A and B are shown apart, each in its own frame.
Chain A
Amino acid sequence: MTTTYRDALRQALVDAMEDDDSVILLGEEVGLYGGAYGVTKGLLDRFGETRVIDTPISEPGIVGAAIGAAMTGLRPVAEIMYVDFAGLVMDQLANQAAKSRYMFGGQIGVPMVLRTQGGTGRSAAAQHSQSLEAWMMHVPGLRLAMPGTVSDAYHLLRDALRQPDPVCFIEHKGLYTLKGEIGPEPDAPWGQPAIRRKGTDLTIATYSRMLQEVLKAAEALAPSVEVEVIDLRTLNPLEDEVLMDSVRRTGRCLIVTEAVTTGSVASEIAARVTEQCFDWLEEPPLRLGGEDIPVPVAPALEAASIPDATLIGETARWLVTREAPSWAA
């Protein structure tokens, strides 16, 4: 049955809450309002206010309360409305949630999910449009999932709610209306990438909304350039053998992200590919990400600040055929 990314997320929450009484939601506007993007609509009526908790605008407090609840037997889903508010919560996230198990010698785990969303596409400007996953990926102890399909919206959230350690679950605001089907099973086990398209000439690694742009570009390039598309799905854990196998077959790797390029997840992937596939590479692993600028509000500038299918296609062709795009001639 066709559904949307938004409805798939809601279904995952409902199913998890039905299965396990210890799952609770807390965050700004998750209850009465139904979630800023409608993900939690109807859940307050269904599960009551002890399990769907509207909070004050207190992001560090929300994450801190979720940590304490997780330490004492609940499985909270804390919602931070925009990933940009990570600046407010990084102490609770990076110093508390991520480190408790380790600092306390394995005694106290923090099985919580931090749901949030990021990315561009709504002219929401510099403080509501960022892709900050590199901040989380840099912290040992934090799991990190970034669904790019409807089926993963459901299955990765269910998987996240089974993890014994804290998971940052970053949705994309541009994907909520994406249509698709929820598969009966996840496309890959938790922690493993999925091959979204087979190809022989070039491997493109990506995740979240950029997956959709990459797939468009790959279709447009075929058959002259056959791109293999790898959806990383989770950035921690990230069992990267699927990606490395692919790069060893194609000899070329392009990493596409929406996040600014410098110090990004793409940089980390490029480093891993370089280390692990050096002898197989025909070209250097190449990053294609957001421009190294804050996200501008003007729709034309916003769109131009991140890669799209056209730029991805041009870059892919350039990398494989050495045929430069018109703007580089």
Chain B
Amino acid sequence: MVRREELWVRGALAESRSSEGQAVTSGRKIVARDQIDDGELAGKLRADCDAEVDRLRSATEALKGARVRGVVTAIAAGVESTITITIDGVSVVTTPEEAAGDYDALKRLLRPPTAPPPTRPLPIVWRNGSGAVLLHEAIGHAAEHAHSGLQWPPWLRARDVARDGRVANLIDGEAPAALRRESFRDVPLRRMTSLHFEQVRAPFDLPPERIEVFLVSGGTYEPLSESVSIDVAVADHVSGKKAQRILPFTVHGLRIHISRALRGAAGDPIRYPGVICSREGQELYVASHAPVMVTAALR
């Protein structure tokens, strides 16, 4: 594994990290060190990584108004690069291909909140693919923990696709296929890679008064209680034709309550700009897609 990471703050390089190493597993023992025995492979990984860093820099050099963190990891199976763009404390996670568009979209979404979140719980419309984060926690992590299946709406499909194309049907209780690790020092864990939530002939009624979620800043799944928390960063309170930007808030719910709260969905899956998933201290990018979804009120 060869990895390069750079942090750019308002157009200036603030931090730069590079590392490389290998891990050899034998039974229950993993021997990891910061040198790669296969010199030819090491050279290729470095070259691939450096080329991708160049591409990442080109894709982000115009984003002067943001804090931009780029991470490129090259392993024998390929190169992965992620870019985290932060403006005013709100982040999206993207790729070199999507960085400019996601930066513009983030700027368009950011405007100062004018109201607190409504005091009474309201239905939530999860726009911009953000429903993928809710279901990442409630379905994806539950599958990683081999928690028992629930009765999800019959119109919902949930798949995790590993880099090698293996697919896990998460609704059927299949665990993600891939074992992933953040660095050569880490133990590989069964983790999600690319989540695709889809709807097939789902109902869809837009409640006249609702919260519309556009971006989330974090989510957690508590495996002991099977509860989910979602920290909402950008959302509107919509009542009829009036929409007010509201302050960040947190949605809590047991997994079973979330399964019962799903009311409907519409359209094709939308790529959500960014989920960096942290488990056992290992942060990994998980691609996430979901249609516009509606849930009943969640507290």
Chain B binds chain A: no
Which residues of A are at the interface with B, using a C-beta cutoff of 8 A? none
Which residues of B are at the interface with A, using a C-beta cutoff of 8 A? none
